Amino acid sequence: MLPLEQIRSLLMDGKPVLIFDSSSRENEVDMVFYAPKIDSHSITTLRKIAGGLICYSMPRKVGEAIGLKYMDELLRELGYGDLTGKVLGYGDPPNFSLWVNHKDVMTGIRDADRAKTIKELDKVVELVLDGQVKEAKSKFYSEFISPGHVPILLGRGLDVRRGHTELSLSLAELSGLRPSTVIAEMLDDSGALSKEDARKVAARIGTMLIDGSSIIEEWLARKQ
């Protein structure tokens, strides 16, 4: 059983948790922060300890409420169909939507800049989830610039896709938090950081490594 209270406490304290997806999928561990608690130090941690692409995750339905589409859809509409439709080795379609900066950042790439962009994206999600879709759309289109340095991922739900986007969003919801997360792959010099080495990192920074199968089991139990 997932220690949801402990997970919630870690996320609400602004600390990351680590999620392993599956040896039959990407066979990777992602570092995950709860977006409302993100700050410049969080981005530094993701950049220096995780090392992969730092992405902001929201549910697909929330993104669609403010008019977001998947990037592969947009590319097909623009005539780049030959570049879309291919699937990488792990077998799932990509969750990428737009890449954005908040209008008040300096260059967009600095740790404080990305933290600002993510915090403001989280406020958009909060508005949508509170039923204030008009206000959310107004905030998004008046305050954000694209292209930018923060890729938005639209989670498809665990019933469709079981990647880190969906696992992190579901974990937040299972913990009683809104589905709004920041994720990055954990890498080493040779590729993906092993599960064993990720467990050592978790112990060193005072957090936990969570197996994706445990999240899926809890999610399925809640559905029954």
Catalytic residues: 30, 55, 90, 101, 149, 185
Question: Which residues have CB under 8 Å from 203's CB, separation 6+?
Answer: none
Question: Which residues have CB under 8 Å from 11's CB, separation 6+?
Answer: 17, 33, 34, 37, 172, 175, 177
Phi, psi (degrees; rounded to nearest 5) at 166: -70, -40
Phi, psi (degrees; rounded to nearest 5) at 161: -145, 145
Read off the tokens for 214: 């445990």
Is 101:30 a contact under the CB 8 Å cutoff?
A: no
Distance CA 149, CA 94 (A): 17
Is 178:129 a contact under the CB 8 Å cutoff?
A: yes
Distance CA 188, CA 202 (A): 15
DSSP helix, strand, coil percent of the chain (3-state; round to 5):
45, 20, 35
Is 142:156 a contact under the CB 8 Å cutoff?
A: no
